[in-house]
Amino acid sequence: MKRFIHIAAALALFGAGPALAEPVGQTAVFTGLDKITARITRLEVNIGERVRFGTLEVLADSCSKRPPEETPETTAFVEVFDVGRSLADELTAEEDSREPVVEHEPEQIFSGWMFASSPGLNAVEHPVYDVWLIDCKMVEPETASPSE
């Protein structure tokens, strides 16, 4: 009987640890830097959607954030595509008949995990733009209405 109590107590202690799954967010928040104009833009990218920043398109596939009682860390799996010239460049080219407008196939320039605590660890390498993860907006838990 004592052995059963010791085993039950050990199992209870192991089950009392923190949950392994991190909460999943619905929106990844990035900062984008245009190196030419020195403009900084805040990008909010819903999971599964693409957001345009200059000639780049940012797609966040996943975003998670550790709970406040643990060491802070925000991670996101991100894909970045270079879609070529911007719309302003294309309009200028249409006005100037010497340069034809050419459709560009989007080129994937980054695919991987980004960490908010280490923006230089997995950086987007582009000559004009920098993009890095800063936060992950979490799904707000719905408040339960009292049953009547």
What pLDDT score does 84 carry? 83
- pLDDT higher at 90 or 109: 109
* 133 occurs within a structural domain: yes
Q: What is the pTM of this model?
A: 0.66
Range of the domain at 88: 21-138
- The residue assigned the tokens 């797609």 is 59
What pLDDT score does 99 carry? 53
* 103 occurs within a structural domain: yes
What is the phi/psi pair of residue 82, to 5°?
-100, 115
DSSP per-residue string spanning the chain:
-HHHHHHHHHHHHHHTSPPSSPPBEEEEEEEEEETTTTEEEEEEEETT-EEEETTEEEEEEEEEE--TTSPP-EEEEEEEEE--S-HHHHHHHHHSTTS-------EEEEEEEEETT-TTTT----SSEEEEEEEEEEPPPPPPPPP-
pLDDT tens figures, 10-47: 444 444 444 445 556 699 999 999 999 999 999 999 99
What pLDDT score does 89 carry? 53
| Statement: residue 101 has pLDDT above 70 | no
What is the phi/psi pair of residue 76, to 5°?
-150, 140
- Average of pLDDT values for 115-139? 91
In Å, how far from its chain's centre is CA 66?
Answer: 14
* 14 occurs within a structural domain: no
pLDDT tens figures, 43-81: 999 999 999 999 999 999 999 999 889 999 999 999 999
What pLDDT score does 31 carry? 96
What pLDDT score does 105 carry? 79
- The residue assigned the tokens 């994937």 is 108
What pLDDT score does 133 carry? 96
What is the chain's Cα-based Rg? Answer: 23
How many domains, in total, are found in the chain?
Answer: 1
Q: Which of 7-16, 46-55, 88-97, 134-143 is modeled with the greatest confidence?
A: 46-55
* 118 occurs within a structural domain: yes
